[in-house]
Amino acid sequence: MAAQGRKVPSVGGNMKIIGIALIVLSAGLIVLEMHTLTIYLLAAAAACIAGGTVALAGGGLVWTLSSIAITGAVALPLAHWTRGRLKNRASEDVSRDDTGHSVTVVEAEGRVLRVAYRGSTWNARLRDASAVAPGPGHTLVISAREGSTLVLEPPPSTI
């Protein structure tokens, strides 16, 4: 027998709150995705939208969690596949084209180098972080490129 004057909480009302919370969470994940561009957050947002929709439609907690799990299990591998397809291979090829070219140090301030390459000045760093930074005028070789930063190493020894 229920206690007099007490209202028993409704499970349906709580599921509506959970549904709204999941939809709001998905909106936050979508906004965060716009800043990170990883695509994985879109998969998580899709799972939250699915769970929120089920909860708002009156599904119980088990159905809500199941829809989140199933949607996530489908969306995450799909996001991984999509991310692989969207890689900019032309950009990677251009980055590899820089490897092996010589550059001249223009400025050396601590671990940060500025080097002359392709008619402009680029940010650069040494591949070996423990190496002594060369002074202006030294020649180094590009071993990689990370975004717009060149990764450098000493030129091969000439014997």
**Domain shared by 70 and 135, yes or no:** no
Q: Is residue 132 part of a domain?
A: yes
Residues of the chain where predicted confidence (pLDDT) is lower than 50? 1, 8, 158-159
**Domain shared by 19 and 70, yes or no:** yes
Residue 159: the pLDDT is: 42
**Domain shared by 81 and 97, yes or no:** no
**Number of domains composing the chain:** 2
DSSP code for 9: P
pLDDT tens per residue, range 145-159: 887 889 999 887 744
**Domain shared by 78 and 15, yes or no:** yes
- Tell which of 48, 70, 85 closes a domain: 85
Residue 31: the pLDDT is: 96
**Domain shared by 104 and 125, yes or no:** yes
Residue 7: the pLDDT is: 60
Q: Please give the residue range of the domain that contains residue 20.
A: 11-85
**Domain shared by 18 and 44, yes or no:** yes
**Domain shared by 77 and 25, yes or no:** yes
Q: Is residue 158 part of a domain?
A: no
Residue 9: the pLDDT is: 54
pLDDT tens per residue, range 47-62: 999 999 999 999 999 9
pTM of the model: 0.54
Q: Which of 67, 72, 85, 88 is nearest to 40 (CA)?
A: 72
How far, in Å, are 19, 39, 105, 139 from residue 136 at the CA level?
61, 42, 5, 9
* Cα–Cα distance measured from residue 65 to residue 73, given in angstroms and rounded to the nearest whole number: 12
Q: Is residue 65 part of a domain?
A: yes
Residue 16: the pLDDT is: 95
Residue 95: the pLDDT is: 56
**Domain shared by 130 and 71, yes or no:** no
* Cα–Cα distance measured from residue 68 to residue 65, given in angstroms and rounded to the nearest whole number: 5
**Domain shared by 79 and 122, yes or no:** no
Q: Is residue 81 part of a domain?
A: yes
Q: Is residue 138 part of a domain?
A: yes
CATH of the domain at 135: 2.40.50.140
- Tell which of 61, 85, 109 closes a domain: 85
**Domain shared by 128 and 72, yes or no:** no
